Amino acid sequence: MLDLAHRLANLLEPWFHQHQRDLAWRRTRDPYAIWVSEIMLQQTRVDTVEAYYGRFLERFPDVGTLAAADESEVLAAWSGLGYYRRARLLHAGARHVATSHGGTVPDDPELLRKIPGVGRYTAGAIASIAFDRPTALVDGNVARVLSRLQALENPKQQDASAAGHWIMAQKIVQAGQPRVLAQALMELGATVCTPMGPRCEGCPVRSECQALAKGLQSTIPTPKQRAPSPREDLWAVAVRRNGRVLLEQRANEGLLGGMWCLPLIERKSTDRAGAPPRVIAEVTGVKVKSVEALVEPVKHVFTHRVWMLWPCRGEAAVVDVPFRAGYEDGPGRMWIAPGERPRGGIPKVTEKVLERLGY
DNA sequence: CAGTCGTGGCA
DNA sequence: TTGCCAAGACT
């Protein structure tokens, strides 16, 4: 009698060959391309990634190109994809591989793990998918599949960090073709063993599923409770000068680190006519002669907070003074005309506000 | 180790 | 409309 891992492997391999989705990153065995896809896919839906993956690889076709690029170019290519630290870590990772491995992505999980932005999951994914090395990988999909298969009702055992999952995943990927089984486990979680309304009728491993046998397929894993997102009301200040508006690059650390945004100023319940000119001058270094507030705020929901951005225009007191070349105004400051954008990264939230303001 | 970090789609 | 959450890494 085969053990569970081998029975699962024997069921998953033919199922994956027949039912896998046709995804761009499955049409290559280039470890660099697979690495890029894994970083993009972190906490991000397949449909979203598909819009970025091809363009990114055209612009940065190999490790050397990415390593040689400016960070601003990388962030520009990542704009709109979110979790921008991933892009900066990927860039740092490319430089690490270029420097320490001569531009060749290593196949050893221990070495992969040393690449910036590559954690335990991604190291396992690259090793197993790109190099067909039997290396465990547990993401949200795999954790859910394995939790249901074994009817694990303890939330600590359900988490992707649970030791039991990594042991089981290791046994499964080495019970057949690692490249196939690694993707099959995730594909099953993404298309059949979904968080809500799992399609157990079409599941290749339903005969092995203890959750289904107990009728627990919809209650495992236990939904995690999240703290409510605090709401922040901010003025999004469009300081205008000669028809251009000032953008500033945010600090490298923290939310939207390194991205280009309008200056943001805390909006107190007392002021409604716009950000106080004195505060605008303090924050931007530009004196404004008048401020005009728009009526409707732009709502932007992050994972852990909600921004209510209140656009307001401030006309610079000094006009008709020529800009410097390129309209750059010192490091991290730039004046843009309507339809124009800085070299670097622009988050969606900035695009939303600029559009509202007619830029 | 619990918190941080974007965005969009869907029930 | 609101809430949930999707191929995690890092601190």
CB A95 within 8 A of CB A88: no
Mean pLDDT within A126-150: 97
Which residues of A in 213-252 have their CB below 7 Å from strand C's atoms?
223-226, 228
Share of chain A above pLDDT 70, in %: 98
- Closest residue, by C-alpha, to the C1' of B5: A83
Statement: residue A224 has pLDDT above 90: no
On whether residue A345 sits in a domain, the answer given is yes
Phi-psi region of A173 (alpha: psi -120 to 50; beta: other; left: phi over 0): alpha
Is the pTM higher than 0.85? The answer reads yes
Q: Is the CB of A27 under 7 A from strand B?
A: no
Task: Please report which confidence band the pLDDT of residue A191 belongs to, taking 50, 70 and 90 as the band edges.
Answer: very high
Same domain? A139 vs A242: no
CB A335 within 8 A of CB A246: yes
Mean pLDDT within A149-165: 95
Structural domain boundaries, residue A194 = 4-214
Statement: residue A27 has pLDDT above 90: yes
On whether residue A224 sits in a domain, the answer given is no
According to the model, what pLDDT value does residue A228 have? 83
Q: Is the CB of A195 under 7 A from strand C?
A: yes
Same domain? A155 vs A24: yes
Same domain? A47 vs A114: yes
On whether residue A166 sits in a domain, the answer given is yes
Report how many domains make up chain A.
2
Cα–Cα distance for residue pair A359/A353, rounded to 1 Å: 9
Same domain? A208 vs A270: no
A306 CA → B7 C1’, Å: 13
Q: Is the CB of A45 under 7 A from strand C?
A: yes
Cα–Cα distance for residue pair A10/A2, rounded to 1 Å: 10
Mean pLDDT within A167-189: 98
Quick: pLDDT tens for A258-316: 999 999 999 998 888 999 999 999 999 999 999 999 999 999 999 999 999 999 999 99
Give the mean pLDDT of chain A: 95
Pick the more confident residue, A110 or A324: A110
According to the model, what pLDDT value does residue A225 have? 81
Residue A186 belongs to domain with CATH number: 1.10.340.30
On whether residue A279 sits in a domain, the answer given is yes
Among A158, A184, A214, the domain-final residue is A214
On whether residue A221 sits in a domain, the answer given is no
According to the model, what pLDDT value does residue A329 have? 82
According to the model, what pLDDT value does residue A326 have? 62
Mean pLDDT within A190-195: 95
On whether residue A118 sits in a domain, the answer given is yes
Same domain? A120 vs A257: no
Quick: pLDDT tens for A66-93: 999 999 999 999 999 999 999 999 999 9
According to the model, what pLDDT value does residue A291 have? 95
Same domain? A196 vs A334: no
Task: Please report which confidence band the pLDDT of residue A324 belongs to, taking 50, 70 and 90 as the band edges.
Answer: low
Which residues of A in 319-338 have their CB below 7 Å from strand C's atoms?
none
According to the model, what pLDDT value does residue A331 have? 87
- Residue entry with tokens 């909600």: A306
A116 CA → C7 C1’, Å: 17
According to the model, what pLDDT value does residue A325 have? 60
CB A205 within 8 A of CB A211: no
Quick: pLDDT tens for A342-358: 999 999 999 999 999 99
Same domain? A142 vs A237: no
**Helices A163-173/A178-191 angle, 10° precision:** 130
According to the model, what pLDDT value does residue A320 have? 65
Q: Is the CB of A48 under 7 A from strand B?
A: yes
According to the model, what pLDDT value does residue A226 have? 82
Q: What are phi and psi of A277, to 5 degrees?
A: -55, -35
According to the model, what pLDDT value does residue A238 have? 97
Among A188, A214, A240, the domain-final residue is A214
Are β-strands A306-316 and A231-241 bridged in parallel, bridged antiparallel, or unpaired? parallel
Q: Is the CB of A46 under 7 A from strand B?
A: no
- Active-site residues of A: which are they? 38
Same domain? A150 vs A235: no
Q: Is the CB of A27 under 7 A from strand C?
A: no
CB A234 within 8 A of CB A308: yes
According to the model, what pLDDT value does residue A156 have? 92
CB A296 within 8 A of CB A287: no
On whether residue A204 sits in a domain, the answer given is yes
Same domain? A17 vs A123: yes
Among A154, A183, A214, the domain-final residue is A214
Residue A298 belongs to domain with CATH number: 3.90.79.10
On whether residue A67 sits in a domain, the answer given is yes
Same domain? A333 vs A249: yes
Share of chain A above pLDDT 90, in %: 91
Same domain? A160 vs A297: no
Same domain? A42 vs A120: yes
Mean pLDDT within A49-74: 98
A214 CA → C11 C1’, Å: 40
According to the model, what pLDDT value does residue A241 have? 92
